[in-house]
Amino acid sequence: MTGGVLIVGASQAGVQLAVSLRDFGYDGAITLVGAEAHRPYQRPPLSKAVLSGVSDVGSLELRTPAFYAQKKITVLLSERVTEIRLSRTGAAGSGVAVTDRGRALDFDRLALAVGARPRRLDVPGTDLDGVCYLRAIDDATRLRAHLASARDVVVIGGGFIGLEAAAVARSQGKNVAVVEAAERLISRSVAPEVSEFFRRAHLRRGTDIRLAATVERIDGDHGRVRSVRLTDGTVLPADLVIVGVGVVPRTELAEQLGLACNGGIVVDEFARTSEHSIVAAGDCTVMPNPQTGDGLVRLESMPNAVSQARVAAATLVGQPRPYTDVPWFWSDQYDLKLQIAGITTGYDQLVWRGDPETETFSVLYYCRGRLLGVNAVNNASDYLAVRKALATATPIHADRAAAGVPLKDLLVAAS
């Protein structure tokens, strides 16, 4: 197989990159290489609809085999790229990739969409049957089977994956405890007051929440998990343990190539790595804050993977356009839908709209009077209004927002 664009990683970003190349008129060869046996699929539903049984894994495929054939996109599955060598004599960005099957893939341009792997819990007992992670289809299938027969579930990690999994388990009548090492839930993404809302919401639904708690070990019997022991001596019964303590970007190939990495593969607003002929997109990357241009952020979300992949494709075809999309994200927990727009790091003011006790409200984040973003719980109208305001640089003044005026009316007045 020779020439064209090689996309390493059959992820959401990888597929979008391939599709966008065709949309931009690229007619050369495109090869997409993925380590999993499954055709590229959506990941967000794994901890939501798939785990709860609402959706089947077969419904997650991003594109059909016929689509790839029509677009002349070659998809190689169950094959991992282990080495990449750039050409010293050919065009910039060309080279050869070697897979774990010994296959050599020549390329003219290279894109990395290698994603991230679950961070592993480093305590005794993680090898016991019944200790599960959730990142891939096989993880979700295994976890759903364990959940069907489980009675006592311990979730280690109070981030989005952990809380979504806890909500599914509790909704199925399981005894559920969430163990979080930090002082509050989802601390990287929301204000302390929003963390407290979710703590209380889970408690109201019968989930045990343990904050500032760390795991000493996981105990078992005959190779099967039976309990989780915390460092304060507490023993939590468990016949299923779900570990959700974050992810680690896959940077091995980038490091092998000598690309800059800093908590992910460093890219600019055009999805270019430190070797500008190579692009990268998705969970494996860190990039300048798209709202301010400052610092580096890693956006672990499907929308970012799609947006950044489009940017990467445009760069590859010589039509560079900067990343300007408003970051957004959602989480489903019980009957609570949290929708987030914007990057709220560095806020100095919160504006609350609605009453958290009703479980329908929104929180707007400001810095020096400038709107940064929103957390909306069961409040799609506020979420959509803020997302539009950020996309169009339309101001929503804090005092007007606090007055309870519909945000869409403020947008109309400002236009």
- Rounded to two decimals, the pTM is 0.94
In a domain, residue 100? The reply is: yes
Can you tell me the distance from the alpha carbon of 52 to that of 5, in angstroms, rounded to the nearest whole number?
A: 38
Give residue 48's pLDDT.
81
Q: DSSP letter string over 9-20?
A: --SHHHHHHHHH
CB atoms within 10 A of CB 298: 18
Spatial strand order in the sheet of 235-237: 215-221, 224-230, 235-237
**At which residue do the structure tokens 């050599």 appear?**
104
Instruction: List the CATH number of the domain containing 358.
Output: 3.30.390.30
| Beta carbons of 302 and 42 less than 8 angstroms apart | yes
- Verify that 112 and 252 share a domain, yes or no: yes
Give residue 149's pLDDT.
94
Give residue 414's pLDDT.
66
Give residue 1's pLDDT.
45
Can you tell me the distance from the alpha carbon of 236 to that of 297, in angstroms, rounded to the nearest whole number?
A: 36
- Verify that 341 and 403 share a domain, yes or no: yes
- Verify that 207 and 239 share a domain, yes or no: yes
In a domain, residue 217? The reply is: yes
Q: Which residues contact 347 (CB under 8 A, 6 or more apart)?
A: 191, 365, 366, 367, 372
- Verify that 138 and 231 share a domain, yes or no: yes
Average pLDDT, consecutive stretches of 10 residues, N- to C-terminus, the chain (415 residues): 87 97 97 95 86 80 96 97 88 89 96 96 97 93 93 98 96 97 96 98 98 98 97 98 96 97 98 97 96 90 96 97 95 97 96 97 97 98 97 94 90 71
Give residue 202's pLDDT.
98
In a domain, residue 321? The reply is: no
Tokens (6 digits) for 75: 């998809």
Q: How many CA atoms lie within 13 A of 154 on its CB side?
A: 26
- Verify that 135 and 240 share a domain, yes or no: yes
Buried b (16+ CB within 10 A) or exposed e, 266-286: bbbbbbbbebebbbbbbbbbb
CA distances from 214 to 40, 69, 130, 147, 258 (A): 35, 49, 19, 23, 36
Tokens (6 digits) for 297: 């952020």
| Final residue before a domain boundary, out of 289, 316, 343 | 316
Angle of CA points 343, 255, 11, to nearest 5°: 55
In a domain, residue 380? The reply is: yes
Give residue 2's pLDDT.
57
- Verify that 133 and 207 share a domain, yes or no: yes
Angle of CA points 387, 393, 395, to nearest 5°: 90
- Verify that 89 and 12 share a domain, yes or no: yes
pLDDT digit string, tens, across residues 171-226: 999 999 999 999 999 999 999 999 999 999 999 999 999 999 999 999 999 999 99
Give residue 46's pLDDT.
87
Can you tell me the distance from the alpha carbon of 108 to that of 138, in angstroms, rounded to the nearest whole number?
A: 33
Burial class of residue 172, CB neighbours in 10 A (0-12, 13-18, 19+):
middle
- Verify that 223 and 293 share a domain, yes or no: no
DSSP conformation class of 89 = S
Mapped to the 3 state alphabet, what secondary structure does 128-146 carry? CECEEECCCHHHHHHHHHH
- Verify that 253 and 113 share a domain, yes or no: yes
Buried b (16+ CB within 10 A) or exposed e, 195-220: bebbbebbeebebbbbbebebbebeb
| Final residue before a domain boundary, out of 245, 274, 303 | 245
In a domain, residue 328? The reply is: no
- Verify that 232 and 171 share a domain, yes or no: yes
Give residue 193's pLDDT.
97
In a domain, residue 267? The reply is: yes
- Verify that 150 and 89 share a domain, yes or no: no
Q: DSSP letter string over 96-118?
A: EEEETT--EEEESEEEE---EEE
| Beta carbons of 367 and 349 less than 8 angstroms apart | yes
Range of the domain at 199: 123-245
**At which residue do the structure tokens 């998990």 appear?**
225
| Final residue before a domain boundary, out of 245, 269, 294 | 245
- Verify that 347 and 397 share a domain, yes or no: yes
CB atoms within 10 A of CB 358: 9
Can you tell me the distance from the alpha carbon of 326 to that of 372, in angstroms, rounded to the nearest whole number?
A: 10
Instruction: List the CATH number of the domain containing 183.
Output: 3.50.50.60
In a domain, residue 401? The reply is: yes
In a domain, residue 326? The reply is: no
- Assign residue 403 a region: left if phi > 0, alpha if psi is -120 to 50, beta otherwise? alpha
End-to-end CA, the chain: 53
Can you tell me the distance from the alpha carbon of 379 to that of 392, in angstroms, rounded to the nearest whole number?
A: 21
- Length of the chain equals 415
- Closest among 108, 76, 105, 34 to 279, alpha carbons compared: 108
The runs of H, that is alpha helices, within 258-342 are 302-316
Q: Into how many domains does the chain fold?
A: 3
Give residue 374's pLDDT.
98
Give residue 52's pLDDT.
81
